[in-house]
A and B are shown apart, each in its own frame.
Chain A
């Protein structure tokens, strides 16, 4: 019962934020939950926009991602021990490919979730300086699910460093995924880079349809 009331309150807040427009856009968010809310609202606005074509959506979403996520940190975490073994040029390419993959993944997710209600429920925990902002994604006719955003208060403002959906960490599963690929290529980072390139091309092929 309480949860429902809070859920509604959350929704109301979300609407208020939308109505207020984005004057706060340039300013750094005061609290991590506010930061997540604003970022998600802006992303949803981009993917729901009828005027923007696909390329423009990708461009804007990439901008939001780079602004809101610490992509290089996530990338290095995901590569794990192999980061140290990669050459500088492999690292450069890996960072580019990682960013591209993340953009594609989130673009697709946000597009699929257009029409859903996204409610930021608040800060759940603060662990070693990182905030866990918890949110609920409500889909019409389907059970809601929980997404936690691990937010770090860095020098340049808040940055998301992991997304934890229903207790499953994206960074962790991606790290296991990537390390398995490298292992299959006998420890060659180039094998991973090749598979990443293929995945990106493949996703580009289906994204526009």
Chain B
């Protein structure tokens, strides 16, 4: 679309030649395929062109973004950094695994709601195997037994059901989102069986422990990536907005394992498949 010289090439009509003019679409197709998808998806060409991100509330969003960035710089990033510096990788990997295992029931429910039997089975197997053989989720033997980690949330489920992104939103402290994913966030929170159980047993304090652990764990794993974005971008806000939308798209299409969705306070950009330290 934006390559004058190359759309000329297309007009010359060389068959099989990459249509550079639609590089954007191809990039997205690439994203689709990059996650190990099936080749048949290559047959959806220009339709997959990245939608421009609709951000009518940009001035307000930018204000909240600046606030979030300040909170991050002063509190969350330092916490993540301290955690990374003082806690050995082996221990951090165990924490990540436990947090993921606790999230598995929500992932399972969303797999089912999305009608994805295979991934629902993965989730179920992961939960059972890792809670038992994996000692309460400390270890992740399930990955090695052929049940790889993935994350689902209700925002993704709504997307699969056909709910669009709508407008871009920056939530205070919670970070980049949109109306659909905000609803998803609330739904997942309310339906979380662990939360309901802890509320019943009046052990709510553990919920705060978990939330704190999620924030620190998620942030520690993204320090390098976010520092890099901050350093190399001209407009940090716009760069994060773009990356958020790309990442969310990849999660919805299940080409990215996804992870910790909207729960992480800032922006969990890289969340590699298995964080079993000894990999």
Residues of A within 8 A of B (CB): 1, 4, 73, 76-77, 79-81, 83-84, 101, 105, 108-109, 112, 124-125, 127-130, 132, 134, 141-146, 148, 150, 152, 162, 164-169, 171-181, 184, 192, 195-196, 199, 203
Contact = CB atoms under 8 A, between A and B. Distances in A.
B34 A125 contact: yes
A127 B29 contact: yes
A176 B242 contact: yes
Given A80-B2, A112-B224, A167-B35, 20 more contacts: A76-B5, A77-B23, A125-B39, A127-B26, A127-B33, A128-B29, A128-B42, A129-B18, A143-B274, A144-B279, A164-B31, A165-B270, A167-B255, A167-B256, A168-B247, A172-B242, A173-B242, A176-B242, A177-B242, A179-B238
B29 A167 contact: no
Contact of A167 (B31, B237, B279): B31
Interface in B21-54: 23-24, 26-31, 33-36, 39, 42, 45, 50, 53
A134 B246 CA distance: 18
Interface of B: 1-5, 16-20, 23-24, 26-31, 33-36, 39, 42, 45, 50, 53, 88-89, 93, 144, 221, 224-225, 228-229, 231-235, 237-239, 241-243, 246-247, 250, 255-256, 269-272, 274-275, 277, 279
A105 B232 contact: yes
A176 B30 contact: no
A169 B246 contact: yes
A172 B50 CA distance: 9
A49 B27 CA distance: 34
Contacts of A101: 232
B34 A181 contact: no
Return the 7 tightest CB-CB contacts between A and B, nearest first: A180-B238, A176-B242, A141-B89, A167-B250, A173-B242, A80-B2, A143-B272
A192 B234 contact: yes
A152 B27 CA distance: 13
A183 to B, nearest CB: 9
Contacts of A1: 144
Given A83-B4, A125-B39, A146-B272, A196 B50 contact: no
A42 to B, nearest CB: 22
Given A143-B275, A172-B50, A181 B238 contact: yes
B279 A4 contact: yes
Pick the most buried of B50, B228, B233, B271: most chain A CB atoms within 10 A of its CB. B233
B247 A167 contact: yes
B27 A162 contact: yes
Contact of B234 (A108, A142, A181): A181
B18 A152 contact: yes
A148 B87 CA distance: 30
B235 A181 contact: yes
10 contacts: A76-B5, A77-B3, A84-B4, A125-B42, A150-B27, A166-B272, A169-B31, A169-B246, A180-B235, A181-B235
B208 to A, nearest CB: 26
